[in-house]
Amino acid sequence: MRSIIITIALTPAVSYNSLMACDLYQLRAFFVTAKTLNFTETAKKLFVTQPAVSQAIKKLEESLGCELFIKRGKQQALTENGILLYQACEDIFYRLDRTEESIRRNAKDFLGVVRLGATVEFGNHVLVKNMKKFMDEHDNIHTDLIFSHELIPLLLSDELDIVVDCRDVSDRRLDKRPLFREKYVVVASPEYLRTRPIQKPKDLEACRVISLDKDGTWWERFFLALPEPERPALANMIEINHVRGIIAGAHAGMGIGLVPRYCVIRELARRELQDVFPKITLLEDHFFIYQKKNKAGLEKHKILLDYLLNIKPVEFGTT
């Protein structure tokens, strides 16, 4: 079936009945283009040619009697009517997903695919281990895992369905649930500490300190946990732009690193690394689960969300 009846409240300038029959493929092409604002990118996502996308949107504009996109410099932008149609399409495709899911559930069939996003370190160190059980218990939900440092834009463009992120984002389109508090630890190898006995934070001034960035912003959660007179001036800062690299550098005796505790639970247990300041409570990050509100009712989302929220804190490395 190629057509679907939709109701769209367009602007008063459009002098035709808002109840109309629209080609579903044309709507899909418009919907994806409205998110990418790039015809070539839309073609890649829909596995068609760029002229096919352009033609589909042109026919849709002709049937509606209005422009949906406008050029602003070199960029595409949605017109006022384009924004209204985009909002309607969000509801349309969400309803189609819900309907398909209901049909599959009634048939005790496959519920669909969920693309779960997470930060790189959390994904590699924690999520992969915990998701095996979910996949074993819910083989009617196919789950893909995508790790990235830029998750929210991918979620808003529907390239991801649910994300676990440490960024605190407020957006009316998003459903946000707190997951866990991320603890940090200052670590060094036993060999490094044997040659440089460290008793207090000021002692770091004589050490090589490994940071995710050269200006030391990464260490702010350590500095801010200390009274100002006790904060060290870190002069010998080594930049390694990946947490796993910081861990490897500390393990090799390169210097002292600051990392999320869940990343080094094994190394701490084996005493390959040591907690340099076990009595100092560092500032914590908060991890949240995000999904778009208009998809929160999908059964596959509910099942995965419930599973993530019920993982024990110790499995996240937070105790």
Are 184 and 260 in contact by the 8 Å Cβ rule? The answer is yes
Q: What's the pTM?
A: 0.65
Residue type present at position 90: E
114 three-class SS: strand
CA distances from 62 to 18, 48, 59, 209, 307 (A): 14, 21, 5, 63, 46
pLDDT value of residue 101: 66
CB-CB neighbours of 44 under 10 Å: 13
Report the pLDDT value the prediction gives residue 314, as an integer from 0 to 100. Answer: 56
Residues 6 or more apart whose Cβ sits within 8 Å of residue 172? 293
- 110-181+286-316 and 184-275 have identical folds: yes
Res 158: pLDDT: 85
Strands (E) in the chain, as ranges, are 3-7, 19-23, 69-72, 75-78, 112-118, 141-147, 162-165, 174-182, 184-188, 209-211, 237-239, 256-260, 274-275, 285-292
CATH number of 110-181+286-316: 3.40.190.10
Q: Which residue ranges of the chain lie beneath pLDDT 70?
A: 1-22, 101-108, 313-319
CATH superfamily for domain 184-275:
Periplasmic binding protein-like II (3.40.190.10)
Predicted local distance difference test score (pLDDT) of residue 65: 87
pLDDT the model gives residue 264:
92
According to the model, what pLDDT value does residue 204 have? 95
CB 309 within 8 A of CB 176: no
| CATH number, domain 3-105 | 1.10.10.10
Sequence ranges of the domains in the chain: 3-105, 110-181+286-316, 184-275
Tokens of 176: 């946000």
